[in-house]
Structure 1
Amino acid sequence: MDKADFISRFGGAFEHSPFIAERAYDAGLVVEPLSASGVHAALTEKFRSASQDERLGVLRAHPDLAGKLAIAGGLTEDSRKEQAGAGLDRLSPEEHARFTALNDAYTTKFGFPFIIAVKGLAKDDILAAFERRIDNSRETELDTACAQVEKIARLRLESLIPENS
């Protein structure tokens, strides 16, 4: 697979951050035959070695859960499917108000949106995690958000590359 194809196919694993796929390819970390675990390891290495500002940029590229972008239809296809799978596209007005208040408080406190891999979670699970995590320190939450971004990337890659392909 050439560089342009690799970036086109896997550049969205880390939300709006194709530079990670580009760096992994350029570093020779991409090994054929491609596997979800192999591509994830390559991309994760480049995410972890990115500058703190770059990692913050990746976090900030994630949309708020059930936020304005979701309402306006401005999510990436991956984010839309992930949020819909957790029922975040079917919130009551009260639930939406709670998500909005938590999104605002979280972003104000930490400087980046609340990030959680929503696959397999219901809206109540997500709200419970939101309410638990908002009391974390910034350092703890930065580590947690980065781990969640890596998990989201892994889940996205697993949907693109079956492990036995």
Structure 2
Amino acid sequence: MSGREEFVRRFGGLFEHSPWVAERAYDRAASVGLTAGNVHSALCTAFRAASPAERLAVLRAHPDLAGKLAVAGELTPDSRAEQASAGLDRLSPEEHARFTALNDAYTKKFGFPFIIAVKGLTKDEILAAFERRIDNSMEEEFETACAQVEQIARLRLKSMLPGDDYA
């Protein structure tokens, strides 16, 4: 296996179902060293250099929070653990109904699911962010969602390389 193939195998899942981000980031990351900070920077640079349609595809690859995939047990292991850490796997029927209504309204308005780095947040904090962000413009929310995808990748990378002092 080449260095590129190993890099993509190892880091290709940091951007949900989008290994092309790692593929495009490899040359930059390899040239500066494979620390968590360098890998994250290279991944984000590749993501931000992608076309708006490619970035939109990454956003659309994310699951709804507490949505159908979660109920069916079909989330990626990272997404399942992240949602569980915020208690989204233990919602009351009323809370689940609220998440479902917000997911539907948000996706209808923006064309992609609500994305937030849930690690360290409570379900109430997530709902508050959901309710606040649904009033954003398309441009604001696209940028916010892209920044959240990068934050999720950073948190996933940090859990993969815990000894690295990357903040």
Q: TM-score, normalised by structure 1?
A: 0.95
Q: Which amino acid aligns with 1:115?
A: I
Whole-angstrom CA distance in 1 between matches of 2:82 and 2:34: 24
What is the aligned partner in structure 1 of residue 140 from structure 2? Answer: 140
Q: Which amino acid aligns with 1:16?
A: H
- Number of aligned residue pairs: 164
* Residue 125 (structure 2) aligns with: 125
Segments of 5+ residues of structure 2 without an aligned counterpart are none
Q: Report the Cα distance in structure 1 between the residues aligned to 2:165 and 2:130, rounded to whole angstroms.
A: 35
Structure of higher RCO (CA pairs closer than 8 Å, 6+ residues apart): 1
Unaligned runs of 5+ in 1: none
* Secondary structure of the structure 2 residue equivalent to 1:53: helix
Q: Which residue of 2 aligns with 1:115?
A: 115
Matches within 5 A, 1:1-165: 2-25=3-26, 27-31=27-31, 33-162=33-162, 163-164=164-165
Q: Percent identity?
A: 71
TM-score of the aligned structures, taking structure 2 as reference length: 0.94
- Contact 2:86 2:119 survives alignment (8 Å): yes
Residue aligned with 1:30, SS? helix
Question: Do 1:34 and 1:161's aligned partners in 2 also have CA atoms closer than 8 Å?
Answer: no
Cα deviations across residues 69-122 of structure 1 (Å, max 9, x unaligned)?
001111000000000000000000000000000000000000000000001000
1:14/1:58 contact within 8 Å kept: yes
- One-letter amino acid of the structure 1 residue matched with residue 76 of structure 2: T
Question: Following the alignment from structure 1 to structure 2, what is the Cα–Cα distance between the partners of residues 54 and 41?
Answer: 18
User: What CA RMSD, in Å, does the superposition of the two structures yield over aligned residues?
Assistant: 1.4
Give the counterpart letter for 1:20 in structure 2.
V
